[in-house]
Amino acid sequence: MRIELLRERSDLGVISAGTLRSPGVPNPWLKCRPGGPWQRMHSGVVLLHNGPPTRDQHLTAALMRAGPGAVVTGAEACRRHGLPARGTEIHVLVPGSVRGSGSLIVERASLMPPACDVGGFPVVSAARAVVDACRQMRSADEATGLVAAAIQRGRCTPSSLAAEARTNRYGTKLVRSVLKELGHAESVAERDARRLSRRIRLTTPHWNVTIADADGVVIGRPDAWYDDVGLAWEIDSRAFHYGARDYERTLARNSRYAAAGILVVQTLPTWLRDTPDAVGRELKKAHQAAAARTRPPVRIVEVT
């Protein structure tokens, strides 16, 4: 059988052993031996070349192995939704019973979730993908990072994640704990900042509120705002400063704070993680310095 015809019958070069046998390739596994022209992806699934498969070929092979009705979930589905999920495994949900192998996780779903076409593949919603990805994690920080990214990027809401976790409770203890602890925090760093703020027992800060001057001109939206003394706390990652425009925005923000008489403490997320005691001491000293001077005429405003 000519390879051109086989490729036409394949999907991205991925083909089932059954499809191969029908045009007259009685034993395709002979061609999948070391040094052969093809390679075995899964039981009954062949790739018509022996080079490294692309991610789309891996996914195609996984869905072919899983069978009709299979949908993509977990880390791979998160990445297809533009979310930074780790892990190389491919997790699929199926209406029947199929065994997975290696980096393929096949899970039978009593009620198949709705899926949409993302780049030509059937992918579950972002909320379901995040919950299923967290089920494979052991690190609370990793799960918090994924949940926070999904919410920040508008892929899902806290309520939709909570609903998925309630519907599929098996293995969701971690993500339910993360949702409870994250609360209104917008990132892992902010969660750590909230923990530290509670521990050092400064006056209760306001989180992610907008600050304006006496004329109502907006000055900034600090991560934390100590209203009693007019102190702003910004958690700025190095990544935030990589782009020239981001760096300019940071300088402009700090200039507005200075012009309004607002003291600002800038903290890297890694400092919160690695040296929280030092960050706490710095924050306390800044709070004392802010309290020692006349509070600037600034206020919290609602932004519509």
Per-residue DSSP letter, 11: B
- Across 154-174, b (16+ Cβ under 10 Å) vs e yields ebbeeebbbebbeebeeebeb
pLDDT for 9 equals 87
Phi, psi dihedrals of residue 218, rounded to the nearest 5°: -70, 130
What is d(CA 82, CA 150) in angstroms, rounded to the nearest whole number? 9
pLDDT (tens digit per residue) in 170-214: 889 999 988 877 665 556 777 788 889 889 988 888 988 999 998
The burial of 184, by beta-carbon neighbours within 10 Å (0-12 exposed, 13-18 middle, 19 or more buried), is given as exposed
What is d(CA 230, CA 227) in angstroms, rounded to the nearest whole number? 5
pLDDT above 60 (res 132) = yes
Q: What is the identity of the amino acid at 141?
A: D
Q: What domains can be seen in the chain, in order of their start residue?
A: 3-52 (no CATH), 57-182 (no CATH), 188-301 (3.40.960.10)
Contact 143, 175 (CB under 8 A): yes
Helix H or strand E segment including 104 = strand 104-108
What average pLDDT does this structure show over 89-95? 94
Phi, psi dihedrals of residue 118, rounded to the nearest 5°: -125, 105
pLDDT (tens digit per residue) in 4-33: 788 888 999 999 988 887 767 778 888 898
pTM: 0.65
Mean pLDDT score across all residues of the chain: 87
Q: Which residues contact 59 (CB under 8 A, 6 or more apart)?
A: 72, 76, 90, 121
pLDDT band at 239 (very low <50, low <70, confident <90, very high): very low
